Each structure stands twice: as structure tokens, then as C-alpha cells.
Chains A and B, each alone.
Chain A
Amino acid sequence: DIQMTQSPSTLSASVGDRVTITCRASQSISSWLAWYQQKPGKAPKLLIYKASSLESGVPSRFSGSGSGTEFTLTISSLQPDDFATYYCQQYNSYSPLPFGQGTRLEIK
């Protein structure tokens, strides 16, 4: 089974900072990766699919890159609304463990 590992688990940053979250797959998943944002008490929200395609309505400060086994989610200039938990998800092949363990982005 493909396993997804995110780093860091927690990230402290300030409004205006540029931040990067990394997701690594245990084997190549080509570009079949999505990123989600989740706020407390809410369902996850799709941000990025196919590693770098921005979902409609998502601000352009969010971007995704990578292929194979290493991927990144970058927020170019943090806004107050961006403090949340972020998850990656692979969909290259069926796996019972498609999600990473999450990265909590907190205010410094």
C-alpha cells in the first residue's frame, strides 16, 4: 500500500509569510495528488488536484507542485483565513491509506 507522509506536522507562521508543506509518497504516484484545507468543525475543502491544478474559487496564493514521490503546497502570503490543517491525498491507485497525517498551520 502507498503511504503518504506530510511534514512538518505543525507549522507556526505569521500573516504575510510564505509557507511550504511537503507530502511524500512511499512510491511514485505520478501527479495524482490532491490537497485539502480543513478548519475546526468543518469538512475538508479541496484546494489543489493533479498536484498543481487550482480548484475553482481557491485563491491564487495557493499553489501546488511536484511529481513522483515528493510534492509541496505553498501559500505565497499567509492570510488570517489560512490558519487551518492541511491534508494531502493520493489517488494514483487504490490504497486504503490515501491521506497524509495532516499539517496544522498555526499563528506564530
Chain B
Amino acid sequence: SQELEQSPQSLIVQEGKNLTINCTSSKTLYGLYWYKQKYGEGLIFLMMLQKGGEEKSHEKITAKLDEKKQQSSLHITASQPSHAGIYLCGAAGGNNDMRFGAGTRLTVKP
């Protein structure tokens, strides 16, 4: 089965700093999703990447899927307190199921 590992598990940054979260898959990714979750709330879709080398941006968040399609990174530029939350990567598994990484908890200090 496909496993997704996220790093780091948690991250504390000063407001205004850049940061990167990584998601590594044990198998080739055919669709990689990034979601954000505020504690105890539902997941908010950020981006989906499908093609190797693909890069997408939304406001100050950029996500990339590497050429070999086994790793994705999420980069936040000039972080703000509103970026705080749990970031999860997800991918479709071989049995048409959906798997998620354990998440990265981001804290942004004002």
C-alpha cells in the first residue's frame, strides 16, 4: 500500500519567514493533494498536482511535484498567522482509496 510521509511533523516560524513542508510517497504519485485543516475543523483544499514537474501557486503558497512523482513540497512565502494550521498531503491509492500523510502542524508567531 502507498504510504505518505510528511516532514517536519511540526514547525514554528516567525511571521514573515518562508517555510517548506515535504511529502514523500513510497510509490509513484498519480495525483497529489494538499489540504489545510484548522484544529478540529474540516479540510480545506489547497492544490492538486498530477504531472511530474508541475508547480502551482495560490496567493503565497506554492506546491511542486517532483519529476519522479514521488515527492511534493509545499512552500509558503512570507508566512502570516492566518497560515497556521495542519497541512496534509493526500494521494489516491491503488485500490481507489485515498491516503493522507500524518500532517504538519504549523505555528506562525506574530
- Chain A bound to chain B: no
Residues of B within 8 A of A (CB): none
